[in-house]
Homo-oligomer: A and B are copies of this chain.
Amino acid sequence: MQCNKCGNIAVYFNKISGVALCKKCFMKSIEEKVRWTIGKYGLFEWNDHILLAVSGGKDSLVMMKIIAEIEREFPQSTLIAVTIDEGIKNYREIGLKLAKKYAEKFGVEHEIYSFKKFYGYSLSEIVEKAYEKKLPHHPCTYCGVLRRKLLNVKGKELGATKIATAHNLDDEAQTILMNILRGDVERLIRLLRAENTKIPGFIPRVKPMQLIPESELALYAYYSNIELYSVDCPYSHTSLRDEIRRFLNIFEKKHPGAKYSIYSSFRKISQKLAKNMVEIEFKRCKYCGEPTTRELCRACELLEQLGLI
């Protein structure tokens, strides 16, 4: 098969559009899609101080590569990569190493912040405590809530005006389906808010890779000689997300385009909903001062339940 753009040998074929691309044109198409996403949804300003949340997984490394390239055109803009060390035994070490290595390679400043240092406990310790106390939360709940808070706190210290995360199309479709299956409409609506609303004390989070399927990011990483680490997080296999990931992958194979359909349905619904959204009043967490709609922010609430605050 030949590349539809330049006639070279194609390495990529898109079932939905019928487009075949060679390695070079495929990589360019991904980069253009990221640029398009940034422009279309107004993710970055010309003078943004962008914090890249880089776990060291392929998605975040690809994001770092592409955004570093784009931001070279914007000298007033700055980039800093941040890796959170949650403290997950036999897992996080590899990610930290890769994040550091590629930040150097792509010429991006890099910082590491750990749960242990900031909260006083690693994720593994927190999860153990939660088991002891028979709390119903999944490890991913603690990990996500505490990671997001740490990014926001450190982002403010670093003067960041945007936090970019490497969520891809699969992540977005999974999250939407997960919230629908859980009946969590509020969180579904909040997904959009985080991107477009200015809340004092809360750095806007943007997702420049949101339109790119996970499989295409993997191919892009491969052609960029980015090392993939095939170790999965030890907690991920027990999660609802993992179950939904498997269902969606089977479903997408049978019905190509299904993931994008879920994503775009939700975008359309969100846009319609955004029109008459009531402004939520934000307070400051009485423990840590972070913005929250309640007395305590979710992170302090979880730590309090564990008796760690």
Contacts and interface: CB of A to CB of B under 8 A. Distances in A.
Interface of A: 176-177, 179-185, 188, 240, 243, 247, 251, 254-255, 257-258, 260-262, 264-266, 268-269, 272-273, 275-276
A185 B240 CA distance: 25
Nearest to A264: B183
A255 B261 CA distance: 24
Contacts of A260: 183
Contacts of A254: 243
Contact of A183 (B243, B265, B275): B265
B251 A181 contact: yes
Nearest to A248: B181
Given A255-B240, A276-B275, A276-B276, A181 B269 contact: no
| Copies in the assembly, this chain | 2
Contact of A273 (B188, B243, B272): B272
A245 to B, nearest CB: 13
Contacts of A273: 269, 272-273
7 contacts: A180-B266, A181-B258, A183-B257, A183-B261, A184-B265, A188-B265, A273-B273
Nearest to A247: B247
Nearest to A270: B269
Nearest to A257: B183
Contacts of A264: 183
Given A181-B255, A188-B265, A272-B276, 5 more contacts: A176-B180, A247-B251, A269-B269, A273-B273, A275-B276
Contacts of A268: 185
Contacts of A243: 251, 254
Nearest to A250: B247
A260 B240 CA distance: 17
Nearest to A260: B183
A181 B266 CA distance: 10
Contacts of A258: 181-182
Query: Which among A181, A188, A261, A268 has the highest number of chain B CB atoms within 10 Å?
Result: A181
A123 to B, nearest CB: 24
A241 to B, nearest CB: 13
A56 to B, nearest CB: 31
Nearest to A277: B272
A254 B176 CA distance: 19
Nearest to A252: B181
B276 A180 contact: no
Contacts of A255: 181, 240
